[in-house]
Structure 1
Amino acid sequence: MANDIASADTGLGSWPWRRARITPDRIALIDDDRSLTYRQLADNTERLASAFRVAGLDRGARVAYLGPNDIAAFESLFAAGLGGHVFVPLNTRLSAREIDFMLEDCSADVLIVAPSHHDVVEQLTVRPSTILTLGPGDDVPGAREFRNFMAQGGLGDGFAPVGLDDPCLVLYTSGTTGLPKGAVLTHGNLTFNTVNQLAHLDVLSSDRALGIAPMFHVTGLNQVTLPTLFKGGSVRPVGKFDAGTVLKSIEEHAVNCFSAVPTILQMLCEHPSWQSTDISTVRYVIYGGSPVIERVAKAWLDRGVQLLQGYGMTEAAAGIYLSIADGAADHPVSVGFPHFYTDVGIAKDNSVHPVTSDDRGELLVRGPNVFSGYLNRSEATDSSFDGDWFRTGDVIATDHAGWTSVVDRVKDIIISGGENIYPAEVEAVLTDYPGVVSAAVVGVNDDKWGEVGTAFVVTDGRAIDKHDIAEYLAGQIARYKIPKSFHVVEDIPRSATGKILRTELRTIAADQVPH
């Protein structure tokens, strides 16, 4: 009966059942301790959804998850979708106070928590009515064990179908400025993001994918992982990133694909085991957040791996642009071309214009993958749209062949003496200087020019002469773009998704860096 009911579903809740009917005995999810076939995933999903119903959850109830990437996270996602509930993966790097805010903001009915975060739960003041632990939970008062809870559910009872417009997922933005906002993604948003991926990439039913990016981030859930499961491949969640362990896993399990931020790619190719590890099975890697450093890209390309830079955001579930295999190596800083079911435009002269070559402007996007709005934030939702176009806040530039680059954030542009300075452009040149590992440029107030740039650089340990860097930049970019001061630091602060925390750097620059 579950299969018949599922055939009427149009969203995420139906995926395990449809795949279980096509390839029931293929491995869907696997880790070092266990594996699930598609048939087993479908059964577990239905039992958990049934257990949620027995516990009194109504349609629209929020199921929060706090823990590392795990098979249980996928079971919870699909069960929430099947029951018409909303899955809310929480950032594992946040404090109890920040988790409290999100649990209250989304009105969580269930909290599923891994043993690694039991101490956080003990500090919470907001406690959902049902708390489930992924292991012994004696140290969490009132909690129930996840597997025992699931076992109380049945099979064959049937569920009302979900539709494309029904909410499926709430993902909280990084909150680099102000309080984080919960982006509400529908079943249709996730479904069309997956279709976009399949139209852009040759995802195979035989693919073995690593789930490296955290599942509280839209990339961890929707890029590579869900498209691979949609096609009937296998996904191996990575609970904690360790470069040596991941390289070993790639070789031992003949991994074909994964998604990551540039920092992860750099850590992998700089690991001592890099050269001795067989990565010949890896066909492609999708990365985003910022362009990869040239030497890192070369290290992967020299090993025969396609590096495909993508551009997206939580509000677009996530994909908007993605490189293509033909030409990606020749366009290392490009995010490629728009996804199939995604419209893009440029905001200019108080209207939306088509994206043309040799033109820069704020990117606007619309399509069935674009979210329905922010949870409990109608004002923020309204201000983020221009009609049915979502304002990304990112500035793009497109060449004559259609290859597009994200040149900066609208709010990050430095206006110095009336000239626009795009920090990302300066940073890309800085990282080519010998000894510079990474760089970030922010604007600070200046009495003469209004704003000037200040650069933060991380080195590989060698001494860096700041005057030599400035002279090097003078041969690469216009004089007005050269930062007026340089600050050598041990690390550049980044969000969980790898984005530079420029607000934090601006504070440091204003307080400590002479200019």
Structure 2
Amino acid sequence: MTQDHGLGFWLDKRRRKTPDKPAIVFDDDRTMTYRAFADAADRVAAVLADRGIGAGDAVAYLGENSPEFLQVLFGCAQRGAVFVPVNTRLAPPEIAHVLADSGAKALVYDAEFAERVADGVEAARVAHVFLTGGGAPGVPGLAHHMRDVSPHPADAGVGLDDPAAIIYTSGTTGKAKGAVLSHGNLTWCAMNCIVDYDVVSSDVALMISPLFHVASLGMGALPVILKGATLVLEKGFEAGRALALVERHRVTMLSGVPTTYQLMADHPDWASTDVSSLQKLTCGGSAVPLRILNAFEERGLSFSQGYGMTETSPGATALSPAMSREKQGSVGLPHFFTDVRIAGENGERVPAGTVGEIEISGPNVFLGYHGLPEATAAAFTADGWFRSGDLGYLDDDGYLFIADRLKDMIISGGENIYPAEVESLIAEIGGISGVAVIGVPDERWGEVPWAVVTLRDDAEVTTASVRAHLDGVLARYKLPKNVVVVEELPRTASGKVRKPDLRARFGRRG
């Protein structure tokens, strides 16, 4: 039997080392041990094997946080199949693109998404479709199929360089691109988190962010599982419920975006909830506002902040709580097994304090974009460093500061929105002669998308009409919260819209 060095062997090791340790807590107080977790993943692998799904085959998953999400991930890993988590907020055409582009041979999904996946399953000719849990009337669920198989030893011989997952990231030119993450990428990202966030086996981590996000998966669930700690899975986020779970399960670790922490601090139960068990708070997506830092520090809590992207599995840097004040505004130092450098316009290294493109190297950097060799080649320098597309600088101590996003990406409530994707669809609306989508500050979501448009003679559009045109085509978080009509869009000499001018005009520096 070929030695397996991928994620697929993790649970068998945990079953031997800590069989009775709680691995997952779900549905309030139901608990799954590492033995039961490993046994379930074995059965998923057997279900896939019985259907001829093996090395390199894509298996998509569309569902909320649940034990099955992780069972399917690790079942795929045993077979050498590639796990494709799908954002539950995507519209039907976006889901169809993910299924077709990844070449998914199987799809596992929650019944509530049946209507949204129907067209995509047919168009992509997905061979095997499973409902999660017990299924629906007349349609056996994945759990039924798992009971009908006999697990057998995995013999896939998966290596660290083999693909483990394809995670779709919104593209700068429209269609989402699939970032291919290897078993090694996810393993080394987990190791970075264990080292830099001091994950220990006694930790209890509350997962309030969806696992289809690479941050929740790569920096939340996987380090906890690798270390043999306990995950508390929540299907969605509600601030009061999250606070109650922290108190009930003596949660030690919590990951989120600024919006989630703000909603918790603003909740009526904040002051009365026992949060003394919390030791490790991590926050990504954007900087933590000073008001939120203060609110948590008043309760004796502080944050680790960081920077990364799907292509880096996703962590690139981390700012320790001890430096959150001294290095306020920084996203920290490179993770332990990751390096960061700043490149000038011609690719040259630049001195500390000089703004340039952030480039990243390390075993957590992805393999490339699925089926897009030209985009993959363009994403790397000649010496193999990943070009982030973001601008920043390193200070004299090596701490990274983000200066701007070359791609004009908007981060709203932790979700990435690429303006080009939205702009291309708005441009199809009759009467619109020009469009630019920008991020505008929002107290709850950090920032939200606005569309600034110019119109042809006598044309009229409203925010409602633009949103109606996009609804059902794009995920709702991508829809503009406001549409502003202007006489002329500011442009450079070459005709490119000057988005910094629009952001300055409508409330955002930049």
Q: Normalised by the shorter chain, which TM-score bucket?
A: 0.7 to 0.9
Q: Does 1:28 align with 2:23?
A: yes
- 1:13 aligns with 8
Superposed counterparts of 1:379-390, under 5 Å: 379-387=374-382, 388-390=384-386
In structure 1, which of residues 270, 274, 294 is the aligned counterpart of residue 266 of structure 2? Answer: 270
* Residue 295 (structure 1) aligned with residue 291 (structure 2): yes
Q: Which residue of 1 aligns with 2:68?
A: 72
In the TM superposition, what whole-angstrom CA distance separates every residue of 1:322-349 from its partner, at most 9, and x where no partner exists? Answer: 0123222333321110012112111214
Distance (whole Å) between structure 2 residues aligned to residue 454 and residue 509 of structure 1: 13
Q: Distance in 1 between matches of 2:488 and 2:237?
A: 33
Distance 1:298 1:220, change over 3 A: same
Q: Tell me the SS of whatever aligns to 1:386.
A: coil
Query: Normalization by structure 1: what TM-score?
Result: 0.79
Task: Tell whether the 8 Å contact from 1:206 to 1:233 is kept in structure 2 after alignment.
Answer: yes
Displacement of 1:381 in angstroms is: 0.9
Shift of 1:160: 2.4
Distance in structure 2 (CA, Å) of the matches to 1:192 and 1:455 = 33
Shift of 1:453: 13
Structure 1 pair 156/305, CA: closer, same or farther in 2 (3 Å)? same
Q: 1 CA distance for matches of 2:115 and 2:478?
A: 31
**Which residue is equivalent to 2:131?**
133
Count of matched residue pairs = 439
SS at match of 2:43: helix
Q: What residue number does 2:210 align with?
A: 214
Q: Which residue of 2 aligns with 1:112?
A: 108
Name the structure 1 match of 2:366: 371
Q: Which amino acid aligns with 2:279?
A: R
Q: Offset at 1:97?
A: 1.5
Query: What's the counterpart of residue 49 of structure 2?
Result: 53
For 1:308 and 1:393, how far apart are their aligned partners in 2?
24
Matching residue of 1:40:
36
Report the more deviating stretch, 225-234 or 144-153.
144-153
Residues 1:246 and 2:263 are matched in the alignment: no
Give the whole-Å Cα distance in 2 for the aligned partners of 1:352 and 1:215. Answer: 38
**Deviation per CA, 1:143-180, whole angstroms, max 9, x where unpaired?**
54110111233234332221011000000003464100
Look up the match of 2:178: 182
Q: In the alignment, is the contact (CA less than 8 A) between 2:332 and 2:399 conserved in 1?
A: yes
Q: Percent sequence identity over matched residues?
A: 38
Structure 2 counterpart of 1:170 = 166
Question: Matched residue of 1:330: which SS?
Answer: coil
- Equivalents in 1 of 2:441, 2:347: separation in Å? 38
1:397 shift after superposition: 2.3
Report which stretch shifted further, 235-244 or 403-412: 403-412
Structure 1: which amino acid aligns with 2:85?
A: P
Establish whether residue 148 from structure 1 lines up as the match of residue 141 from structure 2.
Answer: no
1:277-292 alignment runs, 5 A limit: 277-292=273-288
Per-residue deviation, 1:102: 0.8
Cα pair distance change 1:248/1:506, threshold 3 Å: closer
Structure 1 stretches lacking a partner, 5+ long: 414-422, 425-439, 443-451, 461-488, 494-500
Decide whether aligned partners of structure 1 residues 510 and 19 sit closer, same or farther in structure 2, where only a CA change above 3 A counts: farther
SS at match of 2:322: coil
Q: What residue identity is the alignment partner of 2:299?
A: R
Counterpart of 2:99 in structure 1 is 103
| Separation in 1, partners of 2:401, 2:287 | 9
The residue that corresponds to 2:86 in the other structure is: 90
1:293 Cα deviation after fit: 1.1
Whether the 8 Å CA contact 1:176–1:503 is kept in 2: the answer is no
Distance 2:89 2:78 in 1: 28
**For 1:384 and 1:506, how far apart are their aligned partners in 2?**
33
Q: What secondary structure, in the 3-state scheme, does the structure 1 residue paired with 2:105 have?
A: strand
- Any gaps of 5 or more consecutive residues in structure 2? 412-416, 420-435, 445-462, 468-476, 490-501, 506-510
SS of aligned partner of 2:174: coil
Q: Give the conservation status (yes or no) of the 8 Å contact 1:312–1:319.
A: yes
3-state secondary structure, aligned to 1:179: strand
The residue that corresponds to 2:456 in the other structure is none
Q: Deviations over 1:426-463 (max 9, x none)?
A: xxxxxxxxxxxxxx9x9xxxxxxxxx999844469xxx
Q: Give the deviation of 1:41 after TM superposition.
A: 1.1
Partner in structure 2 of residue 496 of structure 1? none
